[in-house]
Chain A
Amino acid sequence: MKKFFDDVLTRAKKFYSTLLATLREIFDEAAYARFLNRAGMVSSSESYAAFRREFEEAKMRRPKCC
């Protein structure tokens, strides 16, 4: 029984982390984290502004479906 609950808990944790990762990707939080990592910066008002400048043009070119 304990094994069963452990298994369920592990799966639930995995589901939660995948869902969170998906949402972070859709909402560009992951892209910002990658930007900080690549630029060697810490999160701040300035670094977020720099990220938006770099990211905006690429994002603007992506079509959204009807």
Chain B
Amino acid sequence: MNKPLVFLGWGVVAVLGAIAVGTVALHRGEPINALWLVIAAACCYSLGYRFYSGFIANKILGLDSLRATPAERLENGRDFLVTNKWVVFGHHFAAIAGPGPLVGPVLAAQFGYLPGTMWVLAGAVFAGCVQDFVILLFSVRRDGKSLTEMAKDEIGRVGGFVAYVAVISILIILLGVAALIVVNALKASPWGTFTIAMTMPIAVLMGVYLRRIRPGKVLEVSALGFVLVMAAIWGGQYVSQHEALARAFTFSAPALAILIMVYGFAASALPVWLLLAPRDYLSTFVKLGTIALLAVGIVVLHPTLHMPALTRFVDGTGPVFAGKIFPFAFITIACGAISGFHALISSGTTPKLIARETQTRMVGYGAMMAESAVAVMAIIAACVMQPGIYFAINSPAGVVGQAPATAAATISSWGFPVTAADMQALAHAVGEQTLYNRTGGAPAFAVGMAHIFSHSLGGETLMALWYHFAIMFEALFILTILDAGTRVARFMVQDALGHIYKPLGRTSWYPSILATSALIVGAWGYFLWQGVKDPLGGINSLWPLFGISNQLLATVALCVATTIIIKMHRAKYAAVTLVPLMWLVAVTFTASWHKMFDPDPRVGFLAQARALAAGPTSGATVRLIFNNRLDAAVTGVLVVMVTLVLAESLRQWLGILSGAREVRMKESPFVRTRFVEERG
């Protein structure tokens, strides 16, 4: 295409993007249409991909299409495999997209739509996509090594150890908070619980079909499973209306928590692939389908956002979670802007499938952009609701009160009018008894999604079905993450214990499987139980803890990336990873300080422990005091460990830049690709 035309085309995208971002940022008073967010996101991603990732690829990383990748050199038909770039893209996106980009933005919507949208766009383009891209490339150049191995090789033993501990910690906190989201979505909801319970016999049926009737036809059986799940959602309304059945499927939060822990243990310790593998497929099928459907729904309906750009809660007094916009908006939204966990995927399966180095840009940078787009959709879903309804769903009883009239009056007094009758009508429309105090983000997202779907397909009569479809979609893939995460953490602990006593490292030795499964489930189960019993709803303390640990892992990943860039003699360009690194250090360390030492008991763990200790003593108070001190200690340990990695990295950088330290990079030697002729 001729140059002036290309220049003109990108000029139009830039102007349109500037207008859209300007409208989103500066519009006040009247509600704004969601399409402005969609246009702003599309333009930012296009420009970021075309220019910023191009600059990183050409000027810093020097992507070389002649260099053979591990998929080619080490091809074994299993882990290492030359794969079509779009297939790798889809595979990578399916692995990085979880509940994070849906839940985080919904929670952060308490500040208004503006902070979340700006952080998601800027964070993804300048930090998250960059992290995923460079870590993927560096892993490709190191035979597909993991982040912990690269941290050990490039920074030192401290880096490797801290990365390992950070991964385990994140997994445990993530699993605890994910389980809490499911509990809060399903408590006292016979319809939702019935639907999720039905996915188990459906999955077993799929397993039998896969094993006996049509071996290996996963897509076919997933489509069949999807039809059955839709039938279960349809049937759920009759269960919720039948007195005896509704009673049988109505569980309190503690009862659900125990059931989920038993499920997690069984999934990790028992050979139950007949249930788990088909459920995993079903969950992926539903996840990809729903994300696509939501994107279409938003474009077709282009709803109006009723949430203001900024709410009064930027001052830190928010009911969903306490804390000021800085730093809490930036740790609440991790996936969608930048997530350390992605570095594990970028240095896991994906680098072993990449056919040529130049594809790391599209897969690493591009897939993260797609995940960021999912986060924008979540912001839209949360902000299409009337703010009063959003706060009624997401505020814990400890903040707004137990009784509907009290809660509605409290929320209305904040300037977000809502009545008990509005909430009752909404609960009735979605087939629930009540929607108050449904903390965790999932029910609010489900209401927003049901609103979008029902207005673009089926009308108000299908609102209840869409709501329970959304709840099923979220709960299903959170449960999949629970069982997969418990197994991954169990393997990691077994690998480590194997260095102490060899049989403990054997993944087939049952005493070791039982002990390590119990250890992992006990650890995340403790956080889950703590959340269930927390009068502030659990999310207030657990989600920030998860955000902090996830962003601290991103800090480790960016330390590795910066170290390698400096070792590549590209120090003058190190700002591309150093600036996001400095931002994350500022955000995570400030957030950690607040969570540990802030004098406000709603924010600081220790202040809350002190406030509880000053009040009347009971068994429950003693446990709450201990939990707060434990959360403060966990935060402190994570911060100290990441400080060690930072110090070790800084020592490396200064040594290399001053010439005092020899540059030792553990890159695989250059091998010319045998596909060179094909590539022309």
- Contact across chains for B341 and A57 when beta carbons are under 8 A apart: no
- Contact across chains for B284 and A26 when beta carbons are under 8 A apart: yes
- Contact across chains for A60 and B215 when beta carbons are under 8 A apart: no
Q: A34-B81, A52-B273, A63-B485 are in contact. Are A22 and B86 (CB under 8 A)?
A: yes
- Contact across chains for A44 and B215 when beta carbons are under 8 A apart: yes
Binding stretch for chain A, among B37-45, B135-143, B343-351, B603-611: B343-351
- Contact across chains for A65 and B98 when beta carbons are under 8 A apart: yes
- Chain B nearest CB from A40 CB (Å) reads 12
- Chain B nearest CB from A27 CB (Å) reads 4
Chain A hits for B174, CB < 8 A: 66
- Contact across chains for B100 and A65 when beta carbons are under 8 A apart: yes
- Contact across chains for B484 and A45 when beta carbons are under 8 A apart: no
B residues 331-375 in Cβ contact with A at 8 Å: 334-335, 339, 341-342, 344-345, 348-349
Closest A residue to B177 using CB positions: A66
Binding stretch for chain A, among B88-96, B467-475, B587-595, B664-672: B88-96
Closest A residue to B222 using CB positions: A27
Q: Let me know if A25 is at the binding interface, CB within 8 A.
A: yes
A residues 12-66 in Cβ contact with B at 8 Å: 18, 21-35, 37-38, 43-45, 47-49, 51-52, 54, 56-58, 60-66
Closest B residue to A52 using CB positions: B273
Contact with A along B300-317 (1 / 0, CB 8 A): 000000000000000000
Q: Let me know if B639 is at the binding interface, CB within 8 A.
A: no
- Chain A nearest CB from B549 CB (Å) reads 10
- Contact across chains for B218 and A65 when beta carbons are under 8 A apart: no
- Contact across chains for A22 and B90 when beta carbons are under 8 A apart: yes
- Chain B nearest CB from A26 CB (Å) reads 5
In the complex, what distance in Å separates the CA atom of A23 from the CA atom of B218? 10
* Max chain A C-beta neighbours (<10 A), residue from B81, B99, B216, B488: B216
- Contact across chains for B215 and A45 when beta carbons are under 8 A apart: yes
- Contact across chains for A21 and B84 when beta carbons are under 8 A apart: yes
- Contact across chains for B98 and A58 when beta carbons are under 8 A apart: no
- Chain A nearest CB from B492 CB (Å) reads 9
Chain B hits for A52, CB < 8 A: 273, 277
In the complex, what distance in Å separates the CA atom of A25 from the CA atom of B335? 24
- Contact across chains for A23 and B487 when beta carbons are under 8 A apart: no
- Contact across chains for B484 and A29 when beta carbons are under 8 A apart: no
- Contact across chains for A62 and B348 when beta carbons are under 8 A apart: yes
- Contact across chains for A63 and B212 when beta carbons are under 8 A apart: no
Q: A62-B95, A65-B97, A66-B99 are in contact. Are A25 and B341 (CB under 8 A)?
A: no
Contact with A along B254-291 (1 / 0, CB 8 A): 00000000000000000001000100010011001000
- Contact across chains for B98 and A64 when beta carbons are under 8 A apart: yes
Closest A residue to B353 using CB positions: A25
In the complex, what distance in Å separates the CA atom of A32 from the CA atom of B214? 13
Q: Let me know if B530 is at the binding interface, CB within 8 A.
A: no
Q: Let me know if B491 is at the binding interface, CB within 8 A.
A: yes
In the complex, what distance in Å separates the CA atom of A51 from the CA atom of B87? 21
Contact with A along B58-94 (1 / 0, CB 8 A): 0000000000000000000111010110110111001
- Contact across chains for B349 and A62 when beta carbons are under 8 A apart: yes
- Contact across chains for A66 and B345 when beta carbons are under 8 A apart: no
Closest B residue to A39 using CB positions: B77
Chain A hits for B97, CB < 8 A: 65
Q: Which of B222, B273, B348 contacts A56 (CB 8 A)?
A: B273
- Chain A nearest CB from B306 CB (Å) reads 28
In the complex, what distance in Å separates the CA atom of A60 from the CA atom of B273? 10
A-B contacts besides A58-B78, A65-B342, 6 pairs, CB < 8 Å: A22-B84, A23-B219, A32-B218, A45-B211, A45-B212, A48-B216
Which 9 pairs, one residue from A and one from B, show the smallest C-beta to C-beta distance? A48-B215, A22-B90, A66-B100, A27-B218, A32-B216, A65-B96, A25-B87, A22-B87, A60-B487
A to B CB contacts below 8 Å, 24 in the list: A18-B84, A21-B86, A24-B219, A25-B87, A26-B91, A26-B94, A27-B218, A27-B222, A27-B281, A29-B219, A34-B81, A44-B215, A45-B211, A48-B215, A56-B273, A58-B78, A58-B79, A60-B488, A62-B95, A63-B485, A63-B488, A64-B484, A64-B485, A65-B344
Q: Could you list which residues of chain A lie within 8 angstroms of chain B, going by C-beta atoms? A: 18, 21-35, 37-38, 43-45, 47-49, 51-52, 54, 56-58, 60-66
